Structure 1
């Protein structure tokens, strides 16, 4: 099966001493492959130490915190990814044993991801990685034709800022019922989903050379400052910073 995805950001990092998050609530998938160091994930009263050689998928649309030992900092291959599927939105841990396909795929990405000419190769390997991961986790798309039609409508009209009533009409449902069904399937409300798609479109436009103003227009923002605020809230960096950071690792 082929999965639609967009790697928003990725890198191999030895985290600085001030690294950490408190009350993080991401609308995209954070995927961490731990290569060394000591770090802890905390959600509510539960705290889990992140282990070397394990892959972690952090919660989506849920609050959590991360910290590490400054004397033994976290060393990690990480991805911020948008997917057109539900991979489970709770904290997930998968042991990656040396010698298995997932191990070699991650190590290959780690080696090539800093090469400016490797962006397409990283995407190709990540696509294979998702297919292999499917054998270990429950990966699925919605089987609802109506909701798939809505997803296509959102992508086609993202610059027009589609309203919930439009989406409900596209699905052939009453508005309140549509909103309830959408949230049941995608674990977020329609407006949150549209927001994530806007940021994805804006990020892609920036990577393809668009100015901040052009990227804002492509995803339906008439005000460049409003787009910048929304983008920073989502990506944790401004559009300009995002372009500079990705220019170091992408063509």
Structure 2
């Protein structure tokens, strides 16, 4: 299942760049003019030109473009449950993928996340079926991710270990091996993505805070700003870019 946070059709301006810290959402780019370059500390730079690309969640990277060929793309930010654990994927636009991609512009006109999400969900399902992306095969962790998707607040390590049917210490090690982060770091990133979606949907800061388990708005604002660079009250005006 996917949840779409943002989408658009954009010709990026002079100041556009991305310094992705490793958030819990994917970027899906359908580039139809220009290009951008993706850089990370553990891989060579890659140029993304015309085509369809799935960029990774949970991993840090940087994006920039040359003003001589500014990035122009149809783009989507979405989270996936269970998580997709793949690097950068260039997706051939053929068969079922082509049908989905061709339908997206029509649905985007409604400017509703809930209208776009089923098509992105279908695309992810096709990519999984064609083994172009990796998921979480361990059924114990699959149960844990299902719980987190349903309730991002009641997620102590003890609770999650019980759902997995494992002792706490072994569960944490298993989770870290699969996700390259602790369970609580993963949950923190999930809470941020839920809060972003609530804020972009028009929720007040207090409502977004309560939705992800914060009873103190100031504590939530500090948590949000530390991970996004802007406080939640300002996020809506800073977020709409590829």
Q: Distance in 2 between matches of 1:211 and 1:138?
A: 36
* More divergent stretch after superposition (204-213 vs 84-93): 204-213
Matched, 1:90 2:83: no
Q: Distance in 1 between matches of 2:17 and 2:204?
A: 31
Q: Alignment partner of 1:140: what SS?
A: coil
Alpha-carbon deviation of 1:137?
1.0
* Pair 23,86 (structure 1): closer, same or farther in 2 beyond 3 Å: closer
Unmatched 5+ stretches in structure 2:
none
Q: Distance in 2 between matches of 1:23 and 1:141?
A: 23
Equivalence for 1:188: 181
* Pair 241,136 (structure 1): closer, same or farther in 2 beyond 3 Å: farther
Match runs of 1:180-219 below 5 Å: 180-206=173-199, 209-219=202-212
Q: Alignment partner of 1:65: what SS?
A: strand
Matched, 1:78 2:75: yes
Alpha-carbon deviation of 1:140?
3.3
Q: Distance in 2 between matches of 1:142 and 1:110?
A: 33
* Pair 128,236 (structure 1): closer, same or farther in 2 beyond 3 Å: farther
Q: Distance in 1 between matches of 2:225 and 2:9?
A: 22
Higher RCO by CA contacts (8 Å cutoff, separation 6 or greater): 2
Equivalence for 2:169: 176
Q: Distance in 1 between matches of 2:123 and 2:179?
A: 22
Contact 1:87/1:137 (CA < 8 Å) preserved in 2?
A: no
Name the TM-score, length of structure 2 as normaliser.
0.81
Alpha-carbon deviation of 1:12?
1.4
- Of the three residues 35, 42, 46, the one matched with 2:44 is 46
Q: Distance in 2 between matches of 1:229 and 1:47?
A: 33
- Of the three residues 47, 52, 55, the one matched with 2:52 is 55
Q: Distance in 1 between matches of 2:227 and 2:142?
A: 24
Once the two structures are superposed, residues 119-138 of structure 1 have per-residue CA deviations (whole angstroms, 9 ceiling, x without a partner) of: 43312222222233332513
Q: Alignment partner of 1:131: what SS?
A: helix
Alpha-carbon deviation of 1:86?
3.8
Contact 1:228/1:239 (CA < 8 Å) preserved in 2?
A: yes
Equivalence for 2:115: 121
Alpha-carbon deviation of 1:6?
0.8
CA RMSD in angstroms, aligned pairs only: 2.9
Equivalence for 2:101: 106
Unmatched 5+ stretches in structure 1:
none
Alpha-carbon deviation of 1:220?
1.0
* Pair 158,94 (structure 1): closer, same or farther in 2 beyond 3 Å: closer
Aligned length: 238
- Of the three residues 147, 153, 162, the one matched with 1:159 is 153
